Amino acid sequence: MENFISLAELSTEEVYEILDLAAGLKEEWRRGGNRPLLLGKVLGMIFQKPSLRTRVSFEVGMSHLGGEALYLSPQEIKLGERESVADVARVLSRYVDGIMARVFAHSDVEELAAQASVPVINGLSDFSHPCQALSDLFTIREERGTLRGLRLAYVGDGNNVAHSLLFGASMVGMDIWVATPPGYEPQEEVVAKAKGFAQRMGSQVVLTHDPQEAVRGADIIYTDVWASMGQEEEREERLKAFPPYQVNAQLVAQAGRSPLVMHCLPAHRGEEITDEVIDGPYSIVYTQAENRLHLQKAILLLLMGGA
Ligand code: CP
Ligand code: NVA
């Protein structure tokens, strides 16, 4: 693995390799701390958008492994504005051992990866959020002991998180149902690729506009915000289309079993998810947030040496 840009570029074996490494790192950390396998290494972190989990988990993760992380704010770098994406990639490569970037345009993180001589990690783009989805598979496996054969229902916007979950779930043989309002479906190329992975694994990828149908028999119900970062001006319009897709107690009851409830956070409580559900007995959102730390340590070790 040279870069970590999209889950679709990994093999199923590589996915499990990362999950197993993360499990070992979590256990080691619980027993008292990780070995300083990235001693002297520096991760440069470019942020075009705000972050709590991604920034803190990468920064703390580097520190646990003996390395350091450098936070580069939107004001500092002005990616593609103050200087070209290619020049940022080439210059940063002379200073740091790895780059993590949270960008608006997915093509920018691809360009960074193409031009940098150090590994590049996608910390969220308008297209995907691979660290999140892989970490979510880790959390689901931890909770349920397995992935293959489970059914995940994603209810809400067909966005970056939905895209990465489509790739991740289909690659490990989970059924994934995605319920969105008409016009907010995930991109066709993502669905087609996920269907290809699912076919190989003997699982299903189903798109629907009916949230009730999606959650029936689901082992996991997952949602995310209705307007992502960068879509603020669409918020009012989206607030009209999305209310039938709210993950509330009534919808969760349709699962007909006790599903795990997941949300990548930050949540807009009262919009895509109710307090009752996110604070309820099925919710694992804080474990989900914690596991970003453990999973990303595995990615850092695989890309920056030491594993
Ligand atoms: N889930 C997630 O990536 O959170 P942040 O936007 O806070 O990093
Ligand atoms: N879809 C959300 C995820 C935030 C972690 C966004 O892009 O804003």
228 lines ligand 2 (CB under 6 A): yes
State the pLDDT at residue 306: 62
Cα 150 from Cα 126, distance rounded (Å): 27
Closest CA to ligand 1's atom 3:
54
Ligand 2 lined by 224 (C-beta under 6 Å): yes
Active-site residue, 132 included = yes
Its CATH class, for the domain covering 132-288, is alpha beta
Phi–psi pair at 247, nearest 5 degrees: -85, 100
Calpha distance 3→98 (Å, rounded): 9
**3.40.50.1370, 3.40.50.300, 3.30.470.10, 1.20.120.160: which CATH number matches 7-129+292-303?**
3.40.50.1370
pLDDT attached to residue 286: 98
Average pLDDT per 10 consecutive residues for the chain, totaling 307 residues:
96 98 98 97 97 98 98 92 96 98 98 98 98 98 98 98 98 98 98 98 98 98 98 97 98 96 98 98 98 98 86
Alpha carbon of 72 to those of 42, 44, 75, 76: distances in Å?
13, 7, 8, 6
Ligand 1 pocket test, pick from 265, 278, 291 with the greatest ligand atom count within 8 Å of Cβ, gives 265
Ligand 2 atom at minimal distance to the Cα of residue 159: 1
Ligand 2 pocket test, pick from 103, 160, 222 with the greatest ligand atom count within 8 Å of Cβ, gives 160
Q: Rounded to whole angstroms, how far apart are CA atoms 142 and 220?
A: 13
What atom of ligand 1 comes closest to residue 124's alpha carbon? 3
Regarding the beta carbon of 229 and ligand 2, being less than 6 Å apart is answered yes
Is residue 115 part of the annotated active site? The answer reads: no
CB of 225 within 6 A of ligand 2: the answer is yes
Q: Indicate yes or no: pTM above 0.85.
A: yes
Name every residue whose Cβ is closer than 8 Å to that of residue 191 and which is 6 or more positions away in sequence: 166, 185, 205, 207
Among residues 255, 220, 252, the alpha carbon closest in space to that of 147 is found at: 220
- CA 22, 138, 166, 231 torsion-angle sign: negative
Residue spans of the domains in the chain: they are 7-129+292-303, 132-288
What was the pLDDT predicted at 290?
Answer: 98
Tokens 């009209």 correspond to: 240
The set of protein residues with a Cβ atom below 6 angstroms from ligand 1 is: 51-54, 124, 132, 264-266
CA distance 93 to 110: 15
Pairing of strands 220-223, 151-155: parallel
How far apart are the CA of 74 and the centre of ligand 1, in A? 16
- Do the domains 7-129+292-303 and 132-288 sit in the same CATH topology, yes or no? yes
Instruction: Tell me what pLDDT residue 1 has.
Output: 87
Å from CA of 148 to ligand 1 middle: 26
Considering the candidates 108, 126, 224, 263, report the single residue annotated as catalytic: 224
Tell me if residue 273 falls in helix, strand or coil. strand
Letter for the amino acid at 277?
V
Cβ-based neighbours of 25, under 8 Å, separated by 6 or more? 34, 294, 297, 298, 301
